[in-house]
Structures are given as C-alpha cells and as structure tokens.
Structure 1
C-alpha cells in the first residue's frame, strides 16, 4: 500500500515539475515578446521624432560634414528605414530633395573626345557608320546610399552602407528609360514567381 502511494506521489511531483517548466517557458516567451515590442516602439518613436525636426540638425549629430552642405533652401528631407539581420533593427537614413535637380551630363552623354566622332557626325547619311557602342558615354553612379544612422555602434568590419556598389545604366531618352523600368519590373516579378 505504501509503495503505491509513494509511486503516485512521485508521479504527481513529476507532473507538477513538468507543468511548472511549461508555465515558466510561457512566461519567458511572453516577457521576451514584450521587451522586443517595446524596443521596436522606442525605435519607431525615435524615427518619428527625427522626421519632425529640421534635417540639418538631425544630420549634425550623425554626420557633421554632410550637415554643413544642407540648408533650408535646398529643400532636403531625410528618410529613415529599419534594416539588418539581427534584432534590434538598425536605423538607416538617406537624403532626398523635393526640389528639381538637373543632371547636366545626362543631357548630352556622348563621348566627344573620340577621334572618329567628328567623321561620324559628318557622315550621318550612312547608318552603318552611325551605330557605335556606348562604351565612353556618361554612366550615372548612385552616391546617395542608405547609410547607418549611428556609426559609433558598428564595428570596423561591418557594413555601414546598403547598395553602395549600385551602377545605373542611364539612357538619355526618357522613353527608353521607361521601357527599361518596365523590363526590370517584369524580370523582378518573374524571379519572385519562380521562388514561389
């Protein structure tokens, strides 16, 4: 009789220990979820606070050299985004303008320093001579990358810019640029469908 009651008590103790472990895991998961949400809300508040301030004052704390280049007449605003592979996410920024910008090199992208160029312009009637490659033409380079908002936290071997090596094949014709964008969107959609 006593051996049965001892075995039952041990079984109940084992069940209670298992239930306590399960309850502890549930509480720990809930606490971690709460902490992660609070960190995310804090980062969101910081970003919204920075969006309401003058871009020059926001940038002065992070990158004073670039902040000197900005003024209120430039019509500049800063966009923020979250990124990174680990949690908490890192904050990246990019500088934009809502004023028109003229790219002088894009209006005449040809390479005028080629020796045979003058001959080709003189002989426009022959279409075989007119078709040359665009090897020496102007090629737009994107210098406005997504940069890390706080570089002091990052180690020396970690990446501080996103899309830094992005080169854009710029065509002077607006129609051709639109067609290139349509082709790019189709290609991205096909890649996305293949991954599914």
Structure 2
C-alpha cells in the first residue's frame, strides 16, 4: 500500500465529500456578504443615537428658558402681562388691600408645555364664604318657589338638568357628597372650574397665549421659539448667558431682569421720513461703484459738457448775423 493516499490535503475537508466542501466555502463567503448590511445597521443606530441626544439637548434648553420665563412673569412683570389678559383683574392685583397673588405653571400633555396662570386670594387664615343660590336655596324652602318665578320655567329646568348631569358625571358635586379627603379635593377643584351661576368660583387655570406677552420683552421671543422653533436675533445674543447655571443669587436676578426687561427702540436710529429740499440737495450718493462705472460716468459728463459748449458756439454767430441785418435796416446807407 502506498502511504501517499493517507497524507492529508490541507485544502480538502476531512469528510472528503465535494458537496461538504462547497458547503464549507459557502459558509466562509456568507459573513463577507453580511458585512455591508451590518455597517448600514450600525450607521442607522448611531444616527438615531446622535439625533436623540440632540433632541434631548434642545428640549432641556427650551425647558430652561421657559422656566426663566415663568419666574420672570411671576416675580417681575405680573401686572404687565395680566393687563393684557384682563385689565379689570389687573387692577385687583394692583390693589394692596385685595392681597392677590398670581401663580404661573406648566401644563399640557406634549412637549413643549404651555404656560397657565391662576389668581389666588390670600385669606390669612380667616377664609371667605362664597354665597350661591344653589347652596342656600333648598328644595323644601319658599325661596326656591320665588326663584322659579323669577328665573322662569325654561331657565330653572335647565339649571336643574345641569346639576344632575354634573352629579352623574363626577359623583361629588355638593358638600353632602364629600366623605374622604380625595372627595374634598375633587369638590374644591370643581368649584374652581364651574361658573358662579352654577355655584362655583369660576377661577380655573387659564392658558397664557403669545398675544398676552408684550413684544418688547425677551419673554415673547422665548415663547415664540418654543412654539415655532425659530430663534430671534435678540434671543440669540442673550442665549449663552441665560443658559448658564446661576451660581449666585445676583446672576439669577440678572437673568430674570434680562428676560423681563422692556426694550424700546432708540430715537437716534430713527430717521425722519421727509427731508427739506435744501438738505436733499446737500446729501451725496453713498452707493458703491466700480472703477469702470466711475470712468463711464466721467466720460458721459465730458461728452455732455462738450456738446453744450459746441451748441453755445453755434448759436452765438447766428445771433450776431441777425443783429447786423436788423441794424442795416434801421440805418440804411445813402
């Protein structure tokens, strides 16, 4: 027996089957084809990671600016904002005897949140009693009969149906329905939402729109940037300082002052629309011209002056000839 048949060929598999060899080659070539696909997947994943990181950074930046806006609105320019929303309520806030306080908060289910406000009245521990016909006039009293006569049949029935609808929906619409602390909180929030005609206080959280903020403040630019995504030049200049973390109280106050500062246009930059005739003659053209344009203008000026000069020289001898003829007629020679 020849021992050469027992030698192992490194290129041939152990089984000696050709099909298995082809399968082995196929297995070796398969990872080479999947490499571009894996690269694409990794690129897509890395792009998504970068995109999420950028969005989170932008959201944090917007939230920090909106937080500064809320603080500035609550502590600096409450009256100016409330004057645009409701001038009558602004007078109440301005009155020191009323002891009112306006609170600003975030609300909304999506980002960015919108700003809401609510007016609170400090009772100093005494409390205020809200009188309403719904609580005072009971069905067994004679006042309900007089109320029926004054309100009329349709309006009275409408009020009764509205009360029944609220009871079927919320189950806690009267002091008798309050059993637990949760029922009391629900009843208190209901009194803030429903109008005074239904026995409520009508003092709910109201949304602060962009129209209620003065345009002369950076607060307007911040809310506009949060809603539209467009940053103004005025906000871009102050962005770096406003996004700094306040290390001291002085920096915090400076940030609030910048956000709530009313900026008026300087009168020096405003130019009059009409100018006098003499001033218009004195004003020179300051536009930029190339050298070719300047040379062309100079040539046109020279050509125009030369044309006028030749025209004046031609008209002068004609006038002289006409003068001599006229003189000969007046003084004939004998």
8 Å CA contact 1:59–1:66 kept in 2: the answer is yes
Q: CA separation in 2, counterparts of 1:112 and 1:7?
A: 94
Question: Is 2:131 the counterpart of 1:105?
Answer: yes
Q: CA separation in 1, counterparts of 2:87 and 2:29?
A: 74
| Structure 2 unaligned blocks of 5 or more | 1-24, 146-175, 177-196, 213-334
Equivalent residue runs for 1:1-196 within 5 Å: 9-53=32-76, 55-73=78-96, 74-99=98-123, 102-103=128-129, 105=131, 109-110=136-137, 113=143, 140-150=199-209, 152=211
Q: CA separation in 2, counterparts of 1:65 and 1:37?
A: 36
Indicate the SS of the match to 1:144.
coil
Indicate the SS of the match to 1:81.
strand
Deviation at 1:152, TM superposition (A): 4.5
| Structure 1 unaligned blocks of 5 or more | 116-133, 154-196
Q: CA separation in 1, counterparts of 2:95 and 2:32?
A: 77
Q: CA separation in 2, counterparts of 1:112 and 1:55?
A: 46
Deviation at 1:151, TM superposition (A): 6.5
The structure number with the bigger radius of gyration is 2
Superposition RMSD in Å: 3.6
Change (3 A) 1:63 1:12: same
Change (3 A) 1:22 1:94: same
Change (3 A) 1:148 1:139: closer
Q: Given the two structures, how large is their TM-score scaled by the length of structure 1?
A: 0.53
Aligned residues: 130
8 Å CA contact 2:93–2:101 kept in 1: the answer is no
Change (3 A) 1:35 1:54: closer
- More relative contact order, 1 or 2 (CA 8 Å, 6+ apart): 2
Change (3 A) 1:114 1:35: closer
Structure number with the higher strand fraction is: 1
Structure number with the higher helix fraction is: 2
Indicate the SS of the match to 1:105.
coil
Q: Given the two structures, how large is their TM-score scaled by the length of structure 2?
A: 0.33
Of 88-97 and 34-43, deviating more is 34-43
